A and B are shown apart, each in its own frame.
Chain A
Amino acid sequence: MPPTGKLKSVFAVPNAPGTRYEGVILFNQIVAAIGFGIVTASVIGIAVLGFDLTFAVSNVINLGFVAFMLIGQFITYVARDVPLHPWSSILAGCLVAGVASSLLHTGIIRPFQRRKAPGFTLVVITLAVYALVSSVFSMIFGSSEYYFPVSLAETRGIHIGAFIVTQPQLGVIATAFAVVLVTDLVLRWTGIGRTVRAIADDRELAISAGVRSSLVTTSIWFVSGALGGLAGVCLAYTQVNFSTTSAQPYFVFIVAAAFVGGAGEMYGAAIGALIIGISIELLSLMIPPDLSPVVAFLILIVVVLARPEGIAGKGRVRLAE
């Protein structure tokens, strides 16, 4: 579930003392919702970026992506007592999620692709992988709530202009910015980035031009999984507590944001995440927060009907003839 009441009050806009105008309160609520929307969008953005990377290089819609978020959350949780820097547990979570993702690619996805399995077979397989991971985690960790140790100092609000944010929230926003920026720089300016773009554009051509596609593809799957793990950790930090089911709404958010932004488009991912994240939070002023996946899926349907290639998309989506 996305942020619930208690935390949201932390993210409140300071009301000027003595203000009696409801309009001002509504305005403040809207500002707060936009602020929280940016936090949610940051989590979605990291996830969608990972989701889009494997779509770009392997043309696989990975419905099992949320499994990496689960892996990231719970490995970080299990490793929380490792007597090193506190961040090493997060690193462990991301690494394990990344390894799981590259194993999924080399062990299952690639063999099926070499056999020229149709796209829907791969969709079904990734869904089965999601079911598998989710069921296994649910067997191990049950339905209890878990939380990362966050010190009191970290939950105190920091004033930035009209907003108050907690330190973890600020960290999540900063992480998302860093991830998008680094991904963009790598794709644009480095050799591996060129390789990835070449494979994304025309796999056969890239291979015949001498690109070592399998190594690059497996690395991208690793990065994708690690980003999934990171998104899971970020989600856990913004929500304070988490369970084996708390990442589930992100299944809808990620697909919706990817479609809204245009599947496989890197900047589309950021745009889609912002649109979904902010709409969810703004509309939650009017409807119960439990319904936020509905908002995401309604936006998805509108986009599918109006512009199925996505807002930033160049038509990679399979359209009806």
Chain B
Amino acid sequence: MSNGFLYYAAAILVYFGTWLIATWGFDLQFGHTRVVNLGFIASQAAGAYIAGVLSIGPSNASGSYILGATLAFPLPILFGAIAGIVISALIGLVTLARLRDEHFAIVTLVISVGMVTIVSSYTPLFNGDAGIAGIPVPPSNSLVATVSQYWAFVVVVAVGAVIAFLVTRQISRSPLARQLHAIREDTVAAEAVGIATRRKRLMIMCVGGGLGGLSGALLIEGIGAWNTSSWQIFEILVLLAAVAIGGAGRMAGVILGVALVPILIAQGVTFLPIGNSQISQNLEFVIISVVEIVVLWVRPMGILPEKRNIRAIPLDLETPQVLSRTVHEPPVARNSEVIKVSSSGVAPNYRVESAPTNGHGPRPRAVALTVDDVTVRFGGVEALRHCSFTVTADSTAIIGPNGAGKSTLLATISGAVKATTGRILLGDEELRGPVHQRVTAGVVRTFQLPHEFGHMTVLENLMVAQQSQPGTNLAQALIGARAWRRTEDAVEARAWETIRWLGLIRVVNNYAETLSGGQKKLLELGRALMCDPKILLLDEPFAGVAGELAERLASRLAELANSSMRLIIVEHEMKWVEVLKSDVVVMAMGTMLARGSLSHIREMEDVKDAYLGRMHEGAMR
């Protein structure tokens, strides 16, 4: 074979490897977490520039740049990867706190365009538009590499690609990936099951940025130069098109996409008889943008879509022995004369650490929740005014007309809405911080409209709710199954138990988006229970649930009320308030109007007059 061909083959492999590293990194953000970081290319550029200036020695007459040095072989690449992490962290810190969805996407894009402009106009940084050139090819560090020296560099790129492969694979197999997918599907719900969404998104920005930086560092070492035209605004389309065509969220999809877009299309146009490199580059983007739009229309999930994670239903699940191993009976079935507990099972033990071990001891003391003089203002509107009460009953129903402030109250307790004044206490501890911290403290909410994680199976929906499970932080995910396998099995067993308790066995492997409205409500209840709540906040749990499902939901809630958990329920249907024997808090105009048992409330004339009126008399009976 001729030397020319061997050079060309090596160059193609270098391109393939470096783009593979970058696209896996981009897909961790985009495909797995839906962090649509259109400024990704900035991390690649940071890696390239830093690796470049650390390879070619001090700034001189032929070019001015910062940090010029000649470091030994792997160090420039290492620092390039670090530069990618740093720049991604900066972009993430600026944007993640305040923006989401497409606003996040365009601001990150504008930031990367701004960075190109800075590098282009401020020459002392990275030599302006001319950029950094004349990088020797490692590991031999020869400026004009021979065929064998260049193939040695192909091995370096291959090592980089293997590292990227391992990082991506370990993450996408770990419990961490489940949390990332939950953030992708519904960030609000992910936060509500205790995932520190902002921290996780920043983390994945950094991991992706590190791979981007690594890719840029290898690119500049391989092609010898990098300048502002290497990372213009449209460059991100190469990554987007590769992921869209191959399939987001799947490693094989990324490999296919990289083979098709940056290799086949971008290299293919150079073979066309055009002769003008500017025009062939334009043609490349014409093809890529048309292909991108067409693929998004024809095959939105890509050629190799993400695989559904199907688990075999354990054979012994239907036998009662399995349940008795892990489940304890609700100790005092005080409400059993009202609620016919369905024979399908009993409430799983949802507070392992606080519950008695034998299942027959005294009922553990539940914690009280105190709302202390809470006021919430939205602009000029006072949604809650000096609202105060303490929840001590097993089940407390909050009722009141529309606009009374019930949902705001629930949102304030859960942390989604910040109290303007006043505080919320769990036991003696003040509840502070964002939603996910309060979930860890034991306050968990469900939503009025279902917030399921649509493109995850029912089982995954439940398993995601173990927020502190080993393997959900980056280090353990990277170590691999050794670090998390045992707890993963335990969590899965518990998820199966909950699924059986909810009666969702038949749909367990379905994507949650395919469930009916009522099933989604049940699923959401199960997901909240997997968070080990001390206080469970239910926002209209019966809304949209009818017939047998509603009965099942009621009996499950009654079981929970008799466990060590306290329920706070916003509900319009008095039938369920009665069935659950709830203590009733009547709210109107953002404040508590009355308090007592339902029969007591019914007798209160002032409640009727001041708030219920004639309209609500029917509902109260």
Contacts and interface: CB of A to CB of B under 8 A. Distances in A.
B122 interface: yes
Interface in B197-239: 197-198, 233-234, 236-237
Looking at A128, A259, A297, which has the most chain B CB atoms within 10 Å of its CB? A128
A91 interface: no
Interface stretch (B17-25, B288-296, B342-350, B469-477): B288-296
A297 B111 contact: yes
B95 A304 contact: yes
Contacts of A304: 94-95, 98-99, 107
A118 B30 CA distance: 13
In this complex, which of B103, B117, B282, B416 has the most chain A Cβ atoms within 10 angstroms of its Cβ?
A: B103
Contacts of A297: 110-111, 113-114, 117
B122 A63 contact: no
B434 to A, nearest CB: 9
Nearest to B192: A321
B106 A63 contact: yes
Nearest to A259: B107
A318 B109 contact: no
A251 B236 CA distance: 15
Q: Name the residue in B110, B111, B198, B435 with the highest tally of chain A Cβ atoms < 10 Å from its Cβ.
A: B110
A305 interface: yes
Interface in B522-538: none
A283 B100 CA distance: 30
A274 to B, nearest CB: 19
A304 B100 CA distance: 11
Contact of B289 (A121, A122, A135): A135
A293 B113 contact: yes
A293 B121 CA distance: 10
Given A112-B296, A124-B296, A131-B234, A308 B99 contact: yes
Interface string B285-308: 110111011001100100000000
Interface residues of A, number: 53
A52 to B, nearest CB: 14
The DSSP consensus for interface residues of chain B is helix
Contacts of A124: 105, 237, 240, 244, 292, 296
Interface centre among A129, A143, A293 (most CB of B within 10 A): A293
A291 B118 contact: yes
A255 interface: yes
Contacts of B233: 248, 251
A290 B296 CA distance: 36
B102 A61 contact: yes
Most buried by A among B34, B98, B197, B292: B98
Nearest to B117: A293
Given A120-B101, A135-B285, A301-B111, A294 B300 contact: no
B102 A255 contact: no
B114 A293 contact: yes
Contacts of A143: 278
B117 A290 contact: yes
A263 B106 CA distance: 12
Nearest to A287: B121
A65 to B, nearest CB: 11
A117 interface: yes
B296 A125 contact: yes
B109 A131 contact: no
Contacts of B174: none
B283 interface: yes
A256 interface: yes
A139 interface: yes
Residue with the greatest number of chain A CB neighbours at <10 A, chosen from B34, B101, B278: B101
Interface in A274-321: 288, 290-291, 293-294, 296-298, 300-301, 304-305, 308, 317-321
19 contacts: A61-B103, A124-B296, A125-B296, A127-B240, A128-B237, A132-B290, A136-B286, A251-B110, A251-B233, A255-B106, A256-B110, A290-B121, A291-B117, A293-B114, A297-B117, A301-B94, A305-B98, A321-B191, A321-B197
Which are the 3 A-B pairs with shortest beta-carbon distances? Answer: A297-B114, A290-B121, A128-B289
Given A123-B106, A128-B292, 17 more contacts: A61-B102, A63-B109, A112-B296, A119-B101, A124-B240, A125-B293, A128-B240, A129-B293, A131-B285, A135-B234, A138-B282, A248-B233, A291-B117, A297-B113, A297-B117, A305-B98, A318-B101
Interface of B: 34, 36, 38, 94-107, 109-111, 113-114, 117-118, 120-122, 187-188, 191, 197-198, 233-234, 236-237, 240, 244, 278-279, 282-283, 285-286, 288-290, 292-293, 296-297, 300, 416, 435
Interface of A: 61, 63, 108, 111-112, 117-125, 127-132, 134-136, 138-139, 142-143, 248-249, 251-252, 255-256, 259, 263, 288, 290-291, 293-294, 296-298, 300-301, 304-305, 308, 317-321
